[in-house]
């Protein structure tokens, strides 16, 4: 039985582990066959997953359409999260969180998702040209209209989170957080705890690296965006193998997989953290879901900290032009 967790102070209850759906349509090479993708999403539902994450930018648009098809039969049993913030859903064109665009994206997403409300509506990246108060106010209006249930932010800085929250309570922040990207621990997690905001880590398995399936000799599809990430250069992947080896040793001792240890570690950090690993494979889906029932004790967590303290992760998370869009 999948455990449940609550995001925010307005009682948004979700499965302890959600499903990030981006990779089914874009980002990591060719899109998954649509029938297979629908089957995977429905298998997740059958195994107790209730939080499904998408965005207009994934495709663009096709990922929302996929979720709409897959979840239509169980719409009232699941929580659908989607996002706004790029012109035409295309990050390469910059940012657009003008109120008129937010409203337009909401209307279009409702149709693609085959639903009458978006359970959790995130600003995908902070737009420095639009005051966050205007963004929060626009989503507040959509909530009043019943078109949106909850307001979320993604990759926002602490000051922006506070300003948004003062206008419309933020239910969740979605940002990258994992055993190999712990920057949120410095300022973001304390802010979320103080304000009662949930945290939804994306890439909780380090874009696949923490599973142990990627090495210095791994090659990615030509349209896999990891090709452009400094942390996924062959040199960085080789240098970072020590982290995976340490995880593997801990996992072996617990009769688990490295991915399960990485997810269980996140779940142990705070009771309001809900990771959303993505996958295109049924076996990996079941492996990830299994992490929800893996409880790490004080000794396990201390062992992980000791192992990590001896390792410095090599390579920047993003190239400079993308790095500039986070923690605003």
Contacts of 76 (CB under 8 A, 6+ apart): none
Interior angle at CA 202, CA 34 and CA 12, nearest 5:
90
58 tagged catalytic: yes
**Which is the catalytic residue, given 58, 122, 177, 318?**
58
* Cα 207 from Cα 229, distance rounded (Å): 11
Q: Which helix (H) or strand (E) holds 19?
A: strand 19-20
Q: In Å, how far are 98, 199, 228, 253, 287 from 43, measured between CA atoms?
A: 37, 24, 32, 29, 13
Helices 282-290 + 34-46 axis angle, to 10: 20
* Token digits of residue 165: 């929250």
Q: In Å, how far are 12, 168, 198, 229, 304 from 171, measured between CA atoms?
A: 8, 9, 6, 30, 30
- Beta strand residue intervals within 128-259, DSSP E: 148-154, 170-176, 198-202
Which positions are annotated as active-site residues?
Answer: 58
């Amino acid at each position: 039985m999948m455990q449940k967790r609550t995001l925010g102070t307005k009682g948004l209850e979700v499965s302890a582990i959600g499903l990030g759906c981006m990779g089914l349509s874009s980002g990591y090479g060719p899109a998954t066959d649509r029938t297979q993708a629908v089957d995977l999403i429905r298998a997740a539902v059958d195994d107790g997953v209730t939080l499904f994450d998408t965005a207009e930018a994934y495709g663009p648009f096709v990922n929302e359409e996929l979720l709409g098809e897959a979840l239509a039969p169980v719409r009232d049993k699941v929580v659908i999260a989607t996002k706004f913030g790029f012109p035409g859903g295309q990050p390469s064109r910059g940012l657009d969180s003008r109120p008129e665009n937010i409203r337009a994206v909401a209307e279009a997403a409702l149709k693609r998702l085959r639903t009458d409300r978006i359970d959790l509506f995130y600003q995908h990246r902070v737009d420095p040209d639009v005051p966050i108060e205007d963004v929060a106010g626009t989503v507040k209006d959509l909530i009043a209209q019943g078109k949106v249930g909850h307001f979320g932010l993604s990759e926002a800085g602490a000051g922006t989170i506070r300003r948004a929250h003062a206008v419309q309570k933020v239910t969740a922040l979605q940002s990258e957080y994992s055993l190999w990207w712990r920057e949120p621990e410095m300022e973001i997690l304390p802010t979320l705890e103080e304000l009662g905001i949930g945290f939804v880590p994306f890439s909780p398995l380090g874009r696949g690296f923490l599973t142990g399936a990627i090495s210095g000799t791994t090659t990615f599809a030509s349209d896999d965006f990891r090709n452009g990430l400094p942390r996924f250069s062959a040199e960085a992947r080789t240098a970072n193998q020590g982290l995976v080896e340490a995880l593997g040793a801990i996992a072996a001792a617990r009769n688990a997989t490295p991915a399960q240890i990485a997810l269980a570690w996140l779940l142990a950090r705070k009771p309001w953290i809900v990771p959303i690993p993505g996958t295109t494979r049924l076996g990996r889906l079941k492996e990830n879901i299994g992490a929800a029932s893996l409880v790490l004790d004080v000794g396990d967590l201390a062992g992980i900290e000791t192992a990590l303290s001896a390792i410095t992760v090599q390579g920047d998370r993003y190239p400079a032009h993308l790095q500039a869009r986070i923690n605003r």
